[in-house]
Chains A and B, each alone.
Chain A
Amino acid sequence: MTAEQGLGMITGILFGFLLQKGRVLRFDKQVGAMLLKDMTIFKFMLSAILVGMIGILILSNAKVITLSHKPMNLGAVLIGGGLFGIGWAIMGFCPGTSIGALGEGRWHAVFAILGMLTGAAIYAELYPTIKSTILTWKDFGKIGLPETLGVSPWIVVVALWVIILGFFVWFEKKRL
């Protein structure tokens, strides 16, 4: 195993362990969130974002790491995001959690994994067509929210903390 692969493996084991302990690998937790009945996956994900964005901002301001925004290609993000959501509701897993679910014994996740491998193969065939259609509509490029709004990234961080903590209070009040 190369250093690259070893580092990936160690990071993945820790990630999988925390996903499992947070109980977010379950089909019922994912669909529960979509039915607005159980917000466990949002508590988990948004907490990770609140903590992570501070560290990432400090490291990128110090030029220790470089950010890699994904392109804000309007058609791709809107249509692709919507398609993902539709499939996610039926499958009940996302790519990372399907593998984790298999690890905690939910073996039916193999069907989800098979489906996603099939989807990836189909996308590879469709790519030339999508590239010359949907991807050409409107590409805003690899943009960050602070530059787009013209404010300091710290203002965005503080605003997100306030908004997301507000969501957390609401989740706990409603016992979601």
Chain B
Amino acid sequence: MKWKTDDGGWNPYLAGALVGLLAVASAFATTKILKKTSFLGASTTFVRAAGLIEKTVAAGHVTANEYFTKEKVRVDWQFMLVLGILIGALVGSISDGSFKLESVPPTWEKRFGPSIIKRAIGAIVGGAVSMIGARMADGCPSGNGLSGMMQLSVSGFVALAMFFGGGLIVAHFVYGRRPS
């Protein structure tokens, strides 16, 4: 086992273990500073962002919506965390030269070709289905998987199994076949 991957990344076990420490430190810091324990997560932010965007065209509709009211449309701790991920990834990729402008992912291109339009349709449809699922399950691989399993939540284990089970079946169906 190596400390660095072939492309200059860190050993995934090491980087992952550091995220484990970050998750603990973050649970501690949010409790002490914000008086409420918060765990790492990302998908609720998409609800709040969608609410903020909708508000610019139909404010009344957002205020009247039960789900937006329940999840509170505001720029909170997790919202900034999600924006922070972008900055952290930018800094990380520039620091080791792995920043790369990419218009179509290689695995996708092998199966569906270099069309950006095809990729956009796949990502938008897949993204919409995914987010509906994540909100129904009350969390994504960060909130339900990472944070849920770390707290030994039953829902975390079941959700991660379903995430991966669904992904495995569909990925084999979509990318598994050799291109003709």
Q: A residues within 8 Å of B by Cβ?
A: 1, 3-28, 31-36, 40-41, 43-53, 55-57, 59-60, 64-73, 76-96, 98-109, 111-128, 130-131, 134, 140, 142-146, 148, 153, 156-157, 168, 172
Do A104 and B93 touch (CB < 8 A)? Answer: yes
CA–CA, A109 and B114, complex, Å = 15
A-B contact sample (20 more), CB < 8 A, given A48-B150, A89-B167, A118-B124 = A15-B81, A16-B84, A16-B90, A34-B164, A34-B167, A36-B168, A51-B20, A70-B138, A83-B130, A84-B140, A85-B167, A89-B169, A91-B126, A96-B82, A105-B100, A107-B101, A115-B124, A116-B46, A117-B50, A121-B50
Contact with A along B134-150 (1 / 0, CB 8 A): 11111111111110111
- Least CB distance, A114 to chain B, in whole angstroms: 6
A residues within 8 A CB of B172?
Answer: 34-35
CA–CA, A6 and B77, complex, Å = 8
Known contacts A65-B31, A117-B49, A118-B127; A45 and B136 CB within 8 A of each other = no
- Least CB distance, A51 to chain B, in whole angstroms: 3
Do B162 and A78 touch (CB < 8 A)? Answer: yes
Do A85 and B136 touch (CB < 8 A)? Answer: no
Do B125 and A115 touch (CB < 8 A)? Answer: yes
A residues within 8 A CB of B24?
Answer: 51-52, 55-56, 59
A residues within 8 A CB of B116?
Answer: 108
Do B152 and A146 touch (CB < 8 A)? Answer: yes
Do A23 and B12 touch (CB < 8 A)? Answer: yes
A residues within 8 A CB of B17?
Answer: 47-48, 50-51
Chain A, Cβ-Cβ closest to B45: A95
CA–CA, A60 and B24, complex, Å = 11
B residues within 8 A CB of A93?
Answer: 123, 127
Most chain B CB atoms below 10 A, which of A18, A26, A28, A35:
A18
Known contacts A48-B16, A59-B24, A124-B47; A119 and B85 CB within 8 A of each other = no
Known contacts A12-B82, A128-B66; A22 and B153 CB within 8 A of each other = no
Known contacts A16-B92, A49-B20; A112 and B86 CB within 8 A of each other = no
Known contacts A84-B130, A128-B66; A17 and B92 CB within 8 A of each other = yes
Do A123 and B125 touch (CB < 8 A)? Answer: no
